[in-house]
């Protein structure tokens, strides 16, 4: 019984590659569509991200303030999903939340162009807009991920999430290149933020186009293989994660606790960019290009981990705490060359966190509770991001102590993750 169930899951994960060309394009079309929306939106959000530290520094912020604002922004992006994930599940209006979240980002980021001209209120305005952009991420992310999990299921969630994340990261690469070009031409942060209004409008246009082609999931309908009977919905196929578990199970809870620890160690890029411009004396335009390189590394990390996940299971995530532990050692080094390597390591860790981690969450919980699961899981990540922002801001001046603190956090993350994966009855074994 167990063997046939695992075999069926394996067939489902690869059936997209076995279909004729036309059918394969039909299955992959919505995944690519969501990827293009994310590409345009990330030109906006990630174009602004490497500039947040320099902007706040220009407006008079200290390292602690930068850590609090950028850490708080990441905490909002993650923690508020605990509100919006269950809300989306209750209403089943996944598209409403997706549209609202993208609209918030499309408005907040270009408005950062106004902050340098706002006088004494500029620092407060910039802080609010930076956090507002990430609130938009919290509003849309659980709902969008449910939609993506549904359309990626026929092609394999590991591959589907990896391909989507790779397109997403193309935008995250192009955004910094765009702002670097504007900065090189003008030397003006406001001009760089203003230029992001064009991809912001493109993201909203693409999203509205896709809205008419991908419906909201139905009200808890049984999957086709269940036969359409009146019985309760079956949980999502376990994929590479082994037998599915309930939302409140020990495996899911342990996975979330592990995410808290790794998120506390994965510093927000605002702190890294602050370090690069103030300590390593790297020009802001070059910092934007370094961030683009990090996004390229993230794309490769997402693709590689996604393929390995579909083949071998969740144990690929054991690399994540190891990568995070190396970030403060490298990215906050005084030497620019070493810091650049650290930025690439940071990007690789981010790519795994934002793709394969989500695939495992989707495989651990029933489909009708995925929005809630992503919200709960993101709340743990958000709490970790906030703790990490405070940690990095407070210990920035004492690098050895910061490195030791992050190493302890990642050791805890690794141990808890091993226990969580073992309890899923599959990810640490060969399929």
Phi-psi region of 167 (alpha: psi -120 to 50; beta: other; left: phi over 0): alpha
Structure tokens at 368: 């009708």
pLDDT at 13: 43
pLDDT at 169: 74
pLDDT at 88: 87
| Helix or strand (DSSP H, E) at 144 | helix 122-152
How many whole angstroms separate alpha carbon 150 and alpha carbon 215? Answer: 11
Does residue 329 contact residue 276 with C-beta atoms inside 8 Å? no
By CB atoms closer than 10 A (0-12, 13-18, 19+), residue 350 is: buried
pLDDT at 191: 93
Rg of the chain over CA atoms, in angstroms? 21
pLDDT at 20: 52
Residues 131-189: tens digit of each pLDDT: 999 999 889 988 888 888 777 777 777 777 778 877 887 887 888 889 989 998 998 88
Residue 34 makes CB contacts below 8 A (sequence gap 6+) with 144, 147, 148, 151, 164, 210, 214
* pTM value > 0.85: no
Residues 192-233: tens digit of each pLDDT: 999 999 999 999 998 988 888 777 775 554 444 444 333 333
Structure tokens at 234: 């079956």
Give the residue among 338, 313, 335 at the shortest CA–CA distance from 327. Answer: 338
How many whole angstroms separate alpha carbon 365 and alpha carbon 372? Answer: 10
How many whole angstroms separate alpha carbon 271 and alpha carbon 65? Answer: 10
How many whole angstroms separate alpha carbon 375 and alpha carbon 142? Answer: 6
How many whole angstroms separate alpha carbon 420 and alpha carbon 417? Answer: 5
CB hemisphere CA count around 279 (13 angstroms): 19
DSSP alpha helices (H): ranges in 19-121?
A: 21-58, 63-79, 81-91, 94-111
Residue 205 makes CB contacts below 8 A (sequence gap 6+) with none
User: What is the SS3 assignment for 375?
Assistant: helix
How many whole angstroms separate alpha carbon 94 and alpha carbon 235? Answer: 19
Domains and CATH numbers, the chain: 9-16+24-219+239-423 (1.20.1250.20)
How many whole angstroms separate alpha carbon 166 and alpha carbon 37? Answer: 12
Residue given tokens 């026929």 in the structure block: 154
How many whole angstroms separate alpha carbon 276 and alpha carbon 283? Answer: 8
CB hemisphere CA count around 211 (13 angstroms): 17
pLDDT at 202: 92
pLDDT at 283: 86
pLDDT at 287: 85
Structure tokens at 108: 């907040």
CB hemisphere CA count around 270 (13 angstroms): 34
How many whole angstroms separate alpha carbon 131 and alpha carbon 124? Answer: 11
Does residue 115 contact residue 69 with C-beta atoms inside 8 Å? no
Show pLDDT as tens, one digit a residue, over the chain (431 residues).
Answer: 333 333 334 444 444 444 455 566 677 777 888 889 989 998 999 888 888 888 898 888 887 788 788 878 877 887 788 788 888 888 888 999 999 999 999 999 999 999 988 888 889 999 999 999 999 988 998 888 888 877 777 777 777 777 887 788 788 788 888 998 999 899 888 999 999 999 999 999 989 888 887 777 755 544 444 443 333 333 444 433 444 444 555 678 888 899 999 888 887 787 888 888 888 888 888 888 888 888 888 888 888 888 888 787 888 889 999 999 999 999 988 888 898 999 999 999 988 887 788 778 877 777 777 777 877 887 888 788 878 878 887 888 888 999 999 999 999 999 999 998 887 754 433 33
pLDDT at 238: 40
DSSP alpha helices (H): ranges in 268-369?
A: 269-278, 284-312, 319-331, 336-353, 356-364
Give the residue among 216, 169, 154 at the shortest CA–CA distance from 29. Answer: 154
How many whole angstroms separate alpha carbon 422 and alpha carbon 31? Answer: 30
């Amino acid at each position: 019984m167990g063997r046939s169930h695992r075999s069926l899951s394996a067939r489902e994960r690869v059936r997209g590659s076995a279909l004729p060309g036309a059918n394969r394009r039909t299955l992959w079309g919505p995944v690519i569509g969501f990827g293009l929306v994310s590409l345009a939106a990330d030109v906006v959000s990630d174009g602004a991200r490497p500039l947040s530290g320099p902007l706040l520094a220009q407006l008079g912020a200290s390292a602690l303030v930068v850590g609090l604002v950028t850490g708080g922004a990441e905490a909002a992006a993650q923690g508020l999903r605990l509100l919006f994930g269950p809300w989306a599940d209750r209403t089943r209006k996944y598209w409403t939340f997706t549209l609202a979240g993208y609209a918030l980002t499309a408005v907040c980021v270009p408005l950062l162009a106004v902050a340098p001209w706002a006088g004494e209120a500029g620092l407060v305005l910039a802080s609010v807009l930076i956090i507002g952009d990430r609130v938009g991420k919290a509003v849309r992310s659980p709902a969008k991920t449910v939609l993506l999990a549904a359309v990626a299921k026929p092609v394999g969630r590991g591959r589907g999430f990896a391909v989507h994340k790779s397109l997403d990261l193309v935008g995250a690469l192009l955004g910094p290149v765009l702002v670097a070009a504007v900065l090189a031409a003008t030397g003006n942060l406001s001009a760089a933020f203003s230029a992001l209004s064009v991809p912001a409008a493109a993201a909203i246009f693409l999203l509205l186009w896709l809205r008419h082609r991908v419906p909201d999931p139905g009200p808890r309908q049984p999957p086709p293989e269940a036969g359409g009977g009146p019985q309760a919905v079956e949980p999502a196929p376990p994929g590479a994660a082994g037998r599915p578990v309930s939302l409140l199970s020990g495996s899911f809870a342990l996975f979330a606790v592990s995410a808290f620890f790794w998120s506390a160690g994965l510093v927000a890029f605002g702190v890294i960019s602050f370090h690069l411009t103030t300590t390593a004396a790297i020009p802001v335009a070059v910092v934007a290009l370094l961030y683009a390189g990090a996004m390229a590394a993230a794309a490769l990390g997402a693709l590689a981990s996604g393929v390995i996940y579909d083949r071998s299971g969740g144990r690929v995530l054991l690399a994540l705490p190891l990568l995070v532990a190396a970030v403060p050692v490298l990215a906050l080094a005084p030497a620019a060359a070493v810091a650049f390597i650290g930025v690439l390591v940071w990007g690789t860790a981010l790519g795994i966190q934002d793709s394969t981690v989500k695939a495992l969450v989707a495989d651990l919980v029933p489909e009708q509770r995925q929005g809630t699961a992503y919200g709960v899981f993101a709340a743990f990540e958000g709490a970790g991001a906030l703790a990490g922002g405070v940690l990095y801001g407070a210990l920035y001046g004492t690098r050895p102590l910061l490195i030791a603190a992050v190493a302890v956090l990642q050791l805890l993350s690794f141990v808890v993750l091993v226990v969580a994966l073992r309890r899923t009855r599959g990810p640490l074994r060969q399929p």
